[in-house]
């Protein structure tokens, strides 16, 4: 085969600029062979070998694509494979559900510490999570014909508003690039975000789930996103659980799930149940973020100012400290 021929969908040029094929991903890895020999013989594996193995590993994980196989980064592999796999394992039994979500919690903590520099990883995890929850609701739960059209429309309205709010958040942050570097004598507090590489007015924090800074410029859209996402998750999970479980009348037309002991007897019921539980777990985190933002607004602090307060000052809500963003909601 000539080197100047076009690549087929399974071919690519590797890190050594040599033509290769994805079917040979497990072949000709000298660094891995040497590391395995050292492991068997009880010798120490050198750091250079570990780095070379990881480089080769990342270079060979590819997917067929017209014009040549495309590399799959770690930011893509973990959310696209680990998340669906854990959800599928969770559908097997109650203990598998507990194990899967506990392992998912540990995985997220590890990713936050080890892959903090990979900003896009958590954004993709967020997108895939909501896609899975939404598709399960629309394709598995709705066909049971237990949910009214008006209820489905309400969920979709919440979702659309949340997506638009998240989009406007990122647009407003993108529009800040270069703005405050060019302006001198700013009367408002401006903090630099190393993740966004942008100066943010009244910065609260960098939201890793959306890969976007939250500050004075987009706080309203962020609060709208949190409220709409919280509403969509709580409402859709309740509709799901009252559809697949035995419901009871809580108040007038409001139903709540009562007995869900039979959900693991059917795969679709189990998948719907796991999706609803995942929604409620995400709801807990979003509720925490919402309360945190409300506290900042009420007491007139930015996130950066609040984090710099001593622990005792936080207990008394920053009493006696200067508030650069005081909205007169509480004391001055």
Q: Is residue 296 part of a domain?
A: yes
Same domain (yes/no): 134, 41: no
Three-state helix/strand/coil letters over the chain? CCCCCCCCCCEEECCCCCEEEHHHCCCCCHHHHHHHHHHHCCCCCCHHHHHHHHHHHHHHCEECCCCCCEECCHHHHHHHHHHHHHHHHHCCCHHHHHHHHHHHHHHHHHHHHHCCCCHHHHHHHHHHHHHHHHHHHHHHHHHHCCCCHHHHHHHHHHHHHHHHHHHHHHHHHHCCCCHHHHCCCCCCCEEEECCCCEEEECCCEEECCCCEEECCCCHHHHHHHHHHHHHHHHHHHHHHHHHHCEEEEEECCEEEEEECCCHHHCHHHHHHHHHHHHHHHHHHHHHHHHHHHHHHHHHCCCHHHHHHCCHHHHHCCCCCCCCCCCCCCCCC
Same domain (yes/no): 193, 297: yes
Alpha-carbon gap, residue 129 to 227, rounded angstroms: 18
**Domain housing 53:** 11-72
Same domain (yes/no): 192, 66: no
Q: Is residue 88 part of a domain?
A: no
Closest CA to 15 of 47, 66, 61, 65: 61
pLDDT for position 177: 65
Same domain (yes/no): 68, 125: no
Percent of the chain with pLDDT over 70: 61
Instruction: Give the predicted TM-score (pTM) of the model.
Output: 0.77
CB atoms within 10 A of CB 82: 16
Alpha-carbon gap, residue 75 to 116, rounded angstroms: 11
Q: Is residue 111 part of a domain?
A: no
pLDDT digits (tens, 9 = 90+) for 113-157: 776 666 788 888 999 999 999 999 999 999 988 889 999 999 999
Residue 81 has pLDDT above 80, yes or no: yes
- What domain count does the chain have? 2
Q: Is residue 188 part of a domain?
A: yes
Same domain (yes/no): 68, 133: no
Alpha-carbon gap, residue 59 to 13, rounded angstroms: 9
Q: Is residue 215 part of a domain?
A: yes
Residue 240 has pLDDT above 90, yes or no: yes
Under 8 Å CB-to-CB from 281, ≥6 apart: which residues? Answer: 101
Nearest 5°: phi and psi at 43?
Answer: -90, 160
Low-confidence winner among 5-14, 167-176, 204-213, 276-285 (lowest mean pLDDT)? 5-14
Q: Is residue 25 part of a domain?
A: yes
Same domain (yes/no): 56, 143: no
* Beta-ladder partners of 247: 257
Same domain (yes/no): 183, 52: no
pLDDT for position 78: 81
Average pLDDT for residues 5-15, to the nearest whole number?
63
pLDDT for position 211: 83
Same domain (yes/no): 161, 295: yes
Average pLDDT for residues 202-216, to the nearest whole number?
78
Same domain (yes/no): 140, 204: yes
Same domain (yes/no): 68, 141: no
Residue 275 has pLDDT above 80, yes or no: yes
Same domain (yes/no): 46, 143: no
Same domain (yes/no): 190, 247: yes
pLDDT for position 330: 39
Longest alpha-carbon distance in the chain: 77
Q: Is residue 1 part of a domain?
A: no
pLDDT bucket at 322, cuts 50 / 70 / 90: low
Alpha-carbon gap, residue 228 to 222, rounded angstroms: 10
Contact indicator for 234, 283 with CB cutoff of 8 Å? yes
């Amino acid at each position: 085969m000539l080197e100047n021929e076009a690549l087929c969908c399974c071919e690519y040029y590797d890190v050594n600029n040599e033509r290769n094929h994805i079917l040979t991903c497990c072949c000709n890895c000298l660094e891995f062979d040497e590391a395995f020999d050292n492991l068997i013989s009880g010798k120490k594996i050198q750091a250079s070998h570990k780095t070379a193995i990881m480089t080769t590993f990342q270079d060979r994980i590819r997917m067929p694509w017209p014009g040549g196989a495309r590399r799959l980064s770690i930011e893509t592999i973990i959310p696209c494979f680990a998340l669906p796999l854990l959800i599928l394992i969770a559908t097997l039994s109650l203990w598998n559900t507990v194990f899967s979500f506990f392992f998912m919690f540990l995985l997220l903590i590890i990713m936050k510490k080890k892959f903090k520099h990979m900003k896009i990883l958590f954004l993709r995890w967020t997108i895939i999570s909501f896609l899975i929850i939404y598709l399960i609701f629309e394709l598995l739960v709705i066909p049971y014909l237990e949910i009214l059209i008006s209820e489905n429309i309400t969920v979709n309205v919440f979702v659309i508003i949340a997506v638009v709010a998240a989009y406007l958040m990122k647009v407003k942050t993108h529009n800040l690039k270069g703005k405050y570097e060019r302006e001198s004598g700013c009367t408002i507090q401006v903090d630099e975000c190393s993740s966004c590489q942008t100066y943010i007015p009244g910065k609260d924090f960098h939201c890793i789930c959306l890969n976007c800074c939250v500050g004075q410029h987009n706080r309203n859209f962020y609060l709208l996103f949190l409220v709409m996402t919280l509403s969509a998750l709580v409402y859709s999970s309740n509709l799901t659980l009252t559809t697949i479980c035995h419901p009871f009348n809580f108040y007038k037309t409001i139903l709540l799930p009562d007995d869900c002991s039979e959900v693991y007897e059917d795969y679709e019921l189990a998948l719907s149940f796991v999706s609803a539980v995942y929604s409620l777990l995400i709801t807990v985190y979003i509720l925490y973020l919402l309360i945190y933002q409300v506290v900042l607004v009420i007491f007139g602090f930015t996130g950066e100012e609040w984090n710099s307060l001593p622990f005792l000052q936080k207990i008394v809500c920053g009493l006696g400290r200067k508030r650069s963003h005081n909205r007169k909601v509480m004391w001055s």
